[in-house]
Structure 1
Amino acid sequence: MTSVAQAIKGVLPRLVVFFKTLTIYFVVFIPQDQPSVLSTILKCLPVIGLIVFVILQTKSAGTESQFSKYITTGLLFGCIGDALLVWHDFFDLGVVSFLIGHLLYIRAFTFQPLNLVVGVVCLLISVLGSLFFWSGLHGVLIVGAPIYSAIIMVMVWRAISRVEFSENKWTWSKLVTCLGAISFAISDFFVGLNRFHGPFAYDQLIIMTTYYAAQFGIAISILDAKLEPIKNDSSCTSDMKSVPINSHEKAY
């Protein structure tokens, strides 16, 4: 797995801040029912680490793009949302901040290729999710929650569509980003479950694990480590094409 190993080796030094702050968060692990300045800082630091990673990676490649700017700004709004959600009274504002972040991710991922089948499936999941939480919604969330649900599933749709398995254009970075987007939807489902149906066992651990995995996957979208398409010749099944890690723009 030469290209994968090269990809990991190339980005790990720039991910040190993320992994260190992630470890600190889970080691300290301040319960979510104990909001404080410290818990807010610890919660935000891993995403700040991902912002640092994106900036360092794009600077190193020497090709800052609109794509990387959208991803960086989306992560920033996610970080703001993290801080707001620590405090119960700012939940609605936190949702708005994350919604803006998702819109920025959608803008980065674009609508090409379209892949309407995936879009319809994601829309259906969004509707079912809204119906599931409907009885617990009140105030502005009666309108806001379904809108948020639709937006995040559009983001998932665009992330999945970018992978392009059928066209042999897939890359490891796109695959990880796709999994990250799905993980974001899963994390938000558990946030809603905790908020509107009450706490459940290991809720904070599940929510934050899937959330950090999601933001990590989306941050990885600026990279490209592509494997050679699988050939029909059985003698070539283990061959891979090594491609240097670089910015998203160079992947196209």
Structure 2
Amino acid sequence: MNRPVTVLKSVGPKLVPFFKTTCIYYILWLDADKPTLFSALIKCLPVLSLCVFVLLHGMSLTDMHTYARRILGGLVFSALGDAFLIWQHIDGIYFIYGMVMFAIAHVLYIVSFGFSPLRLPVGAALFGVAVGMYAVLYPGLHGVYSVLVGVYVLLLWLMLWRGMARLQVFSTDLWTWTKLCACVGALLFIISDTLLGVNKFRIPIPYNRALIMTTYYAAQLGIALSVADLKDPATTDDITTCGAPDMGASPNDVHCSKDMLELKGMSAHSFSNGICCSKKMH
């Protein structure tokens, strides 16, 4: 069974609202210089759709969904940031509010990705790039922006570091592809915000809005997809029995392992009256 393909088939329908609302945003292409509550809603809808995607994929207060809850929180704060940035042309304070909302979102993403494995060499290399990015923006920064942008850039690259650190390309982990989604999402976030920063503080970039929003929505999609490595009922159809195996079953017909239990988010001690068996994977 090709599990990534199975999961994609499961999550695909849940992503339809995201793609529809993204298309609506580009089709309407409302004037950014004339912000309204309607234009704010249209801009926020794709990210709000990803919030629904995370909720539909599974949510609870248990440790199993700690990662999903943090990603959901990051998406919610991102949507708030989107709404504030709509009004930045009216009053510059809204840009700062938006930065704060996105900074909180990045912190939640960083905590979600975790700090194990640490991989300090990767972090050191990315920190050097972050310093270079700040150096490019610094000549155009004045007042409070000198500090806020510096902190924000640090959070951006910290997020990418943690996304890259948890990615093990040569691992046999079936869920490496979801970690790759998170890593690519973090990278696209940096590209999007770099374009935004250069356009706002240094020089105008042609087609900046289209470039910024396309990379931004793709970034949020990648990060949201990373919750797919959690247990999904639609992808656990290979579980056939939990309890004592059929006495007439052949060893070739069933396959039981501790790894399978861990993959499904279950623990062996939960099955005190028997063992969990699944169809042999061909």
**C-alpha deviation, 1:59, in angstroms:** 4.2
Kindly state the Cα deviation for residue 167 of structure 1 after the two structures are TM-superposed: 4.1
State the AA in 1 paired with 2:5: A
SS of alignment partner, residue 149 of structure 2: helix
1:144 counterpart residue number:
148
1:52 pairs with 2:52: yes
Distance 1:215 1:249, change over 3 A: farther
Distance (Å, rounded) in 2 between the aligned partners of 1:94 and 1:119: 26
TM-score scaled to structure 1, two decimals? Answer: 0.85
Q: Tell me the C-alpha RMSD between the 2 structures.
A: 2.3
- Corresponding residue number in structure 2 for 1:11: 11
The answer on 1:193 being equivalent to 2:198 is yes
**Alpha-carbon distance in 1 for matches of 2:148, 2:31:** 27
Task: Kindly state the Cα deviation for residue 75 of structure 1 after the two structures are TM-superposed.
Answer: 0.5
- 2:40 is equivalent to residue 24 of structure 1: no
The TM-score normalised by the length of structure 2 is 0.76
Q: Structure 1, residues 51-95: CA drift from partner, whole Å, max 9, x if none?
A: 0000110149x9851111111001100000000111112001100
3-state SS in 1 of match to 2:142: coil
Which SS does the other structure have where 2:212 is aligned? Answer: helix
Aligned residues: 229
Q: Out of 214, 224, 246, which is 2:219 matched to?
A: 214
Residue in structure 2 matched with residue 91 of structure 1 by the alignment? 95
Are residues 1:115 and 2:119 paired?
yes
Q: Check whether the contact 2:106–2:159 (CA below 8 A) recurs between aligned residues.
A: yes
* Match 1:159 to one of 154, 163, 167: 163
Runs of 4+ in structure 1 deviating by more than 4 angstroms, as ranges, are none
For residues 178-204 of structure 1, give each alpha carbon's deviation from its aligned partner in whole angstroms, at most 9, with x where no partner exists.
Answer: 101100000000010111124321100
Bigger Rg, which one: 2
Where in structure 2 are there 5+ consecutive unaligned residues?
A: 231-262, 268-282
Mean Cα deviation higher: 65-74 or 169-178: 169-178
Return the structure number with greater relative CO, CA threshold 8 A, min gap 6.
Answer: 1
Instruction: Calculate percent identity across the aligned residue pairs.
Output: 41
Determine which structure has the larger helix proportion and give its number: 1
SS in 2 for 1:33: coil
Q: Residues of 1 paired with 2:5 and 2:226: CA distance?
A: 17
- For 1:40, the equivalent position in structure 2 comes to 40
| Structure 1 residues 166 and 8: CA distance shift in structure 2, 3 A | closer
Give how far 1:116 is off.
Answer: 1.1
Structure having the higher strand fraction is 2
Cα distance in 2, alignment partners of residues 95 and 40 from structure 1: 16
